A = this chain, B = another copy of it.
Amino acid sequence: MSPDANGRLSLNTMTTKAFTLREAVEASAAAGLEAIGLWRDRVAEAGLDTAAKLVRDNGLRVSSLCRGGFLTGVDGAAALDDNRRAIEEAATLGTRELVLVVGGIPDRDLVAARQRVADRLDELVPYAVEHDVRLALEPLHPVFCADRAVISTLGQALAMAAPYPPAAVGVVVDTFHVWWDPELAAGIAAAGAQDRISSYQVCDWLVPMMPDPLVSRGMMGDGVIDFAAITALVRDAGYQGDVEVEIFNEKIWATAGSAVIETMKQRFRELVAPALTAG
């Protein structure tokens, strides 16, 4: 891995949503990036083996695969099957980190939904370990608790990861989701101390928000997040991995992918990279 902070920048394919996998890979390589974060839909369109070869042939690391999860349904059989496929895909693509968005509440029972996540995680861990893949629990902003993720904080994700070895279950630190957390410093430090930081993802919190919070993410610098402060916490926690930029934003999606990548590189260089190595 590059010792240079800029070498740790990774494009998550969601940021350049209009790109095919090939376009995203080739644009990343052309822009001098060393890593890429993949969504399963783009991988499926390209075909798994083709995708793996494309990434390899272009000399990129796969920083993570997004995403498994959605484990909170009352009947979990289909979700477990799908997560096993995701584990296999991660292994084939050569990444250790499979991001899990655990799912929301199908009814009003939040406690039971969280328990189903724990139970199904327990079923998936051996399969992940067998494939040398880590299940990376992603706390989502509490605005998504009802419909996307009943894990809302790093502390809660770490508690759910605790029964398993750090090589089997990790956590994702995504600035958009965790920036508000009064326990953020403690959560990041604990995640680092336990060697459980699977991924550090950066994007901004826009004010005002978009009408749909799902697509209210912004390019770093366009919102209110203090990237220097959060990045310093991640650095001090010992994280040495890639930094993914994963932005859901209609305007960015309507912009040419190559221009988005250039802006991303510039903002990363200005706002994230300095704190990633200094200290």
Contact = CB atoms under 8 A, between A and B. Distances in A.
A190 to B, nearest CB: 15
A208 B104 CA distance: 12
User: Which of A110, A147, A152 has most chain B Cβ within 10 Å?
Assistant: A110
Contacts of A107: 224
A109 B181 CA distance: 13
Contact of A211 (B155, B181, B212, B226): B212
A164 interface: no
Nearest to A109: B226
Interface in A7-33: none
Interface of A is mostly: loop
Interface residues of A, number: 35
Contacts of A146: 180, 205, 207, 224
Interface in A136-156: 141-143, 145-147, 151-153, 155-156
Contacts of A143: 141-143, 209, 213
Interface in A182-218: 182-183, 205, 207-209, 211-213
A179 interface: yes
A51 interface: no
A251 interface: no
A156 B142 contact: no
A156 B182 CA distance: 7
A273 interface: no
Nearest to A149: B180
Interface string A149-177: 00111011001000000000000000000
A226 B109 CA distance: 7
A101 to B, nearest CB: 15
Nearest to A206: B146
Contacts of A110: 179-180, 226
Given A142-B180, A205-B146, A108 B224 contact: yes
A111 B230 CA distance: 11
A26 B42 CA distance: 61
A152 B183 CA distance: 10
A229 B111 contact: yes
Contacts of A111: 229
A260 interface: no
Interface of A: 105, 107-111, 114, 141-143, 145-147, 151-153, 155-156, 159, 179-183, 205, 207-209, 211-213, 224-226, 229
15 contacts: A109-B226, A110-B179, A110-B180, A111-B229, A145-B180, A146-B180, A146-B205, A146-B207, A147-B207, A152-B181, A156-B182, A159-B182, A211-B211, A211-B212, A213-B213
